Each structure stands twice: as C-alpha cells, then as structure tokens.
Amino acid sequence: MARQRKKKGRPVSGWIILDKPLEMGSTEAVGKIKWLFGAQKAGHGGTLDPLATGVLPIALGEATKTMPYVTDGTKAYRFKVAWGAQTSTDDLEGEQIKVSEKRPERAEIEAILANYTGVISQIPPQFSAIKIDGARAYDLARGGEQVDIKAREVEIDEIKITEHAADETTFEVECGKGTYVRSLARDMGIELGCYGHVTELRRTLVEPFDEADLVSLSDLEAAKPEIVDDEAVDYSTLDALLLDAGEAMGGLPRVELSDEQAQRIRMGNPALLIGRDAPIAEDEACAFIKGKLLAIGEIGKGTFQPKRVFNL
C-alpha cells in the first residue's frame, strides 16, 4: 500500500482580507500570503486587476471551502475615469486607440447612469481573464490577436458620482459577480461621445468583507515569525490577523451547537436542534461550536444535517 505523502506547510485556516497593493496580481498575492503563513493551501475570493487596489479576500486551509460564498457575493468599487481617450486595455496600461476633444458635464453623465443600473449586457475588456477556447483573453490580446468576446449579463445595484472635474469623474459602484469596471468606463465614454478609461480603481467590498477588515502587506510582513534552523518559531502574531472561516458565511442562518451536538456532526451524523428559537427548516445553514464554524448543511424536521464538515 502506497504511503501518503505528508502535506507541506501548516494546517492553518482562516481568512486574510488583504489590502492588495498596486501592480500586484491576485495569484502573486495568494502566493505571498501562503508563504508568509507557511500554509498548506490558499486561494482568493475574486480576482482583482494588478492596477487595482483594495479588498482581496484570501482563504487559507479549511477556509478555502467557504470561498464560493465570497466569490458570489456583492462587490463595490471606487474608480476614476479620465475622459477624452479610449485605450486598448480600458485603463492606463494600454495605448490610446480613440480620442476626443469633448468633455462631459456632470449632468450629462448623471443622465445616462440609469442605463448602467440593474441587469445589463456587458462585453468584458480585450485584456481580461475571460477564457476563449481554453486560453485567457489577455494572453491572446498580448499576442496581437483580436479577441471575439461575447456580451454577458451582469447586475449593477447602484452607480453614482462622488466627484467631478473637467477631465475626470470619480464613481462608486455596487455590483454582482463578473462585472468589469473597465467596461463600464469604456461604454459610458462611448455613449457620451467623449471616450473614457479607468485611471484609478479600488475595491471596497467583497461581501461580507469590507475596508474595515483590511490588513496591509507591510503589517503581515512585519508579523512574520523568525526562522530558526529552517523552521518558524512562533506564528501567533501572524495568526492573530486571521479571521475565522465562519466570517465568510454572511447572512446564512446559523446555529450554535453544544459539545454533544458537535461531536455527532463531526461524525457526519445529524444533530437534533432543541429550544424554542431553534430553526425548523432551512435549505442551507451553518453550524458553529464556541464561535468557530464547524459545518455547512441543511435544517429539516428540527435537525441539522451536515453536508460539509470543517476540520478546524
């Protein structure tokens, strides 16, 4: 019988809500956090462009099982659009491909914002992570290929102007999964007849995480433990910056378990929920023991039936 190889790294679990620095890619950020924590496993809760900053939730260990509840959540961005030019990347990185002398008044912009609210059709940028026949659109575009990206529906809850000057406007937008802010800038510029591209982009929310949860890379690096004889001595300062995996569950119904109930769920068995306030039926709920996420499951006939149990 083949021996199982020991996993490299620590079995540390939790969420780090990184204030992603400018010009760092999401994959690079995940690798950095995984290395800092010496973690066995890591992943992020929604890609953020290298030229964007802000909320990048990174899950470690067992918390990676909660990633779908974050990637599908509401996002919010603060972004600045420069008017007068459209670029090949729809941001500062690309070359100007169309220019205009026109500059829109604030009232003109406000008049079209309703067109970018609700469920809208949007074509992602040529330079994006969309896959075309198995290849990333940005790889094809960098190779000089004109990519045919089909429009798709996205949902925008709200978009508003926070500042306006002659050549640029700052917006805040709250939207659903898959929305490209760069496409918003491009499409608004075309509709206004002046063209436009994003010059600054900051993500302020990946529900349920917001800017209040942010940790800077410099703070994480400062908390990294000393290495003695090729091993870290004490990760406690760094681990104190982690949020519990359960923080990702947002508004999902939750139940607090006793030690006896928790033991049944750890064995994969249903647990009877007792008490006047115990929920009777929920298609999806999460169970906690002493404030820590233990399982995701369903509630029916007064019992919690685990579907996914966490080894925390």
Are 12 and 36 contacting, i.e. CB atoms less than 8 angstroms apart? no
Q: Could you give the CA distance from residue 309 to residue 269 in angstroms, rounded to a whole number?
A: 10
- Contacts of residue 57, defined as CB under 8 A and 6 or more positions apart, other chains included, come to 15, 16, 17, 18, 44, 45, 46, 70, 206, 209, 248
85, two tokens: 């030019």
Please identify which of the residues 19, 49, 90, 213 carries the catalytic annotation.
49
What region, left, alpha or beta, does residue 61 occupy, with left being phi > 0 and alpha being psi -120 to 50 degrees?
A: left
Question: Is 72 a known active-site residue?
Answer: no
Classify residue 227 as exposed, middle or buried by CB count within 10 Å of its CB (0-12, 13-18, 19+): exposed
DSSP code, position 134: T
Peptide bond into 50 cis (omega under 30): no
Residue with tokens 């000089």: 144
Tokens of 43: 């992943």
d(CA 291, CA 261): 14
Residues annotated as catalytic are 49
